[in-house]
Structure 1
Amino acid sequence: MSLNQIAVVTGSNKGIGYAIVKGLCEKFKGIVYLTARDSAKGLAAVNSLKQLGFNPLFHQLDITDENSINAFKDHIKTTYGGLDILINNAGVAASHDLPKEEQAKYNVRVNYFGTLNVCEALFPLLRNNAKVINISSSAGRLQRIPSTQLQNKFKDKNLTISNLSKLMEKYIKDTKEDRNEAEGWGTSAYVVSKVGLTALTNLQQNLFNEEKPYRNIYVNSVHPGSVKTDMNKKESELKGKYLWFDCRIVDWDGPMPQ
C-alpha cells in the first residue's frame, strides 16, 4: 500500500478547483487527485495540466451521488489507505431563473448535503495531521441570515450536525411553502447553503477536537475572493497568481463589512 501523501480536490475540472489542483501540483509533495462529476471533462482537465508539466490523477466523483462517493472512498482506501488533504470545492449557484423552491433544493443539496456526504465518507480515512478546507464564501457569513432567532440557532453551542441538517431541510420546506422571507431566511438560496456549509465546518472542527485517539486534524472554511469563473458569469477579475493564495478564512460571526 502506498505511503505517499494524498490530496483530493472535489469539483476541480475548471475554475477555482482547477487552479487549486494546479497550485498543489507545484507545491505539494504527494499525489494530487483532480475529481469531477463528468469524466470526460475531468480527463480533459488532467490532460491540460499534463501539457503544463504537472501530473495529477483523475477519479470520477459526483458529490450528489452516494454510489459515486462510495466508489471513490473505496478507491482511496484500497490504493492508499488514507488521505492527507481534502478540499471540498464542488459547489453550485442555481440560476435565478429557476423557481425559488428549485433554487433552494439545488443549492442546499449540493453545497451543504453533498459536501457533508463526502466528508462523512472520507473523514475516517484522514491521517494524523490532515487538513480539510471547505470552499465557502463571504455569502456564508452568519449575518447574511436576516433573522436573529435563526442566527442564534446556527451558533447554538449545543448544535449538532444532525440538527443543522434538519435546519437546512426546514429552509427548503419553508421556501416550498413560500415562507422563506417570513421565517427570516432572506431571499438567497446560495447564502443559506453557504451559511450551512460554514456552520458545518465549525461543528466538524469541534468533533475533531474531541475525538480519541486525537488525530490533530484541522478544518477551515474559506472565501476565495473575487474570482473570474463560470459561476459568476466571469464578471470578476482573477486576483493573484493562484487562487490558493487568495483564500481567506470566513469571518463567521463578525460585523458585516461596509
Structure 2
Amino acid sequence: MSLKVAVVTGANKGIGFAIVRGLCKRFDGAVYLTSRDEKRGRDAVAALENEGLHPKYHQLDITNPQSLKAFHDYIKEKYGHIDILVNNAAIAFFFSKARGVPAAIQAEETLRVNYFSVLSTCEILFPLLRNGARVVNISSSYGHLSYIPSEKLRQKFQDPNLTVSELSDLMHQYIAAAKQGTQSKEWGNSSYVVSKVGLIALTKIHQRLLNDRDIKVNAVHPGYVDTDMTSHMGPLSIEEGAQAPLFLALDAPDSVKGEFVWFDKRIVSWADNKPVKEY
C-alpha cells in the first residue's frame, strides 16, 4: 500500500501546530505542515524536528488559488493522494483586533478566509482524497446555529438539500447586509459566527456528496484555546485544543461523519440548544 499523507493548513503555530505534532507521533505516513509564511512554517518544522519528530513542509496560502493549485500538483505528483486533510487556517477580528475596523470589512475579510478560501481548498484538494479519507474542519462553539437570530435563516442552513452554490449565496447575502449596515437583526453582529456557521453547513453538504466514497467529513469545536487568535485568553493549551481534531482524524468510528464535535469529543446537535460548557 502506498504511503499515507496528512495535510494541516495554517499550521505554523497554535492548534494547527499541535495537530501536526500529534499526527507526527501517531500517524503512519507523511505529515505536511503548511503555512502562508514560508519562514514561519520552516521554523515550526525545525521546532518539531528538535523534538525528534519529522514533519514535512510545503508553503500553502489557502486564499491564493495559485498556491492551492501548486500544492495540489506537488502532492499529486509525489503521492497521488491525501488521506487526512485538516482545514485549520482561519482568521478572527476579536477583542482589540476589531476596534475601529468597519463591520463591512470584517465581514468581507472573515468570510473570504474562513469560508470561501476553505471552500476553494476543498474544491482543489478533494480530488486527491482516497476512499476512506478523513476531513476535519476546525470550527468553533460560535459556529452553533443558535447564534444566528433569524429562524428563517436557520431553516435555510439546515435544509438537507442545501447546495454549495446556495450556501455561498447566503454568505454573499450576509456580506451585502453588512455593507448596508442591516445585518444585526437577522445575522447578528459577528462575522466570525457567520463564517463558522457556514463552515459547518459546508461540512454537512460535503459529507452528503462524499458518502458513496466512504470519506468522513466532520467539523470540530476545539475549545477555547490559548492562541494568538484568542489574544491568549483561552484556558486550554494548544495540545488540549488538538485532542478532538486528532480524534476525528485518527480514532473516531467510521459512523462519525457529517457531525459537529465538541472539544471533549461529544457529538452535539448543531441546531438545538447549544451545549452549556463552551471551552
TM-score, L = length of structure 1: 0.94
User: Residues 268 and 275 of structure 2 are in contact (CA less than 8 Å); yes or no, is this contact kept in structure 1?
Assistant: no
Q: 2: CA distance between counterparts of 1:66 and 1:240?
A: 29
RMSD: 1.4
1:29 aligns with 2:28: yes
Residue 226 (structure 1) aligns with: 224
2:202 to 200, 203, 208: 200
User: Residues 203 and 218 of structure 2 are in contact (CA less than 8 Å); yes or no, is this contact kept in structure 1?
Assistant: yes
CA deviations 1:196-246 (Å, max 9, x no partner) are: 00000000000012xxxx321000000001211000000112258543324
Residue 66 (structure 1) aligns with: 65
Q: 1: CA distance between counterparts of 2:64 and 2:273?
A: 37
Residue 108 (structure 2) aligns with: 105
Q: 1: CA distance between counterparts of 2:55 and 2:237?
A: 24
Identity of aligned residues (%): 52
Question: 5+ unaligned residues in a row in structure 1: which ranges?
Answer: none
Q: 2: CA distance between counterparts of 1:250 and 1:69?
A: 32
How far is the alpha carbon of 1:158 from its aligned partner?
A: 2.1
Pairs within 5 Å for 1:41-56: 41-56=40-55
How far is the alpha carbon of 1:157 from its aligned partner?
A: 2.0
How far is the alpha carbon of 1:79 from its aligned partner?
A: 0.6
CA deviations 1:2-61 (Å, max 9, x no partner) are: 921000000000000000000000000000000000001000000010001001011011
TM-score, L = length of structure 2: 0.87
User: Residues 138 and 250 of structure 1 are in contact (CA less than 8 Å); yes or no, is this contact kept in structure 2?
Assistant: no
CA deviations 1:173-207 (Å, max 9, x no partner) are: 0100111014x000001000000000000000000
Counterpart of 1:236, as a letter, is: G
Q: 2: CA distance between counterparts of 1:21 and 1:241?
A: 10
CA deviations 1:139-161 (Å, max 9, x no partner) are: 00111100001101111122100
User: Residues 69 and 118 of structure 1 are in contact (CA less than 8 Å); yes or no, is this contact kept in structure 2?
Assistant: yes
Deviates more, 1:46-55 or 1:248-257: 248-257
Q: 1: CA distance between counterparts of 2:269 and 2:98?
A: 26
SS at match of 2:98: coil
Q: 2: CA distance between counterparts of 1:256 and 1:227?
A: 19
User: Residues 180 and 186 of structure 1 are in contact (CA less than 8 Å); yes or no, is this contact kept in structure 2?
Assistant: yes
1:157 aligns with 2:160: yes
Question: 5+ unaligned residues in a row in structure 2: which ranges?
Answer: 245-262
SS at match of 1:255: coil
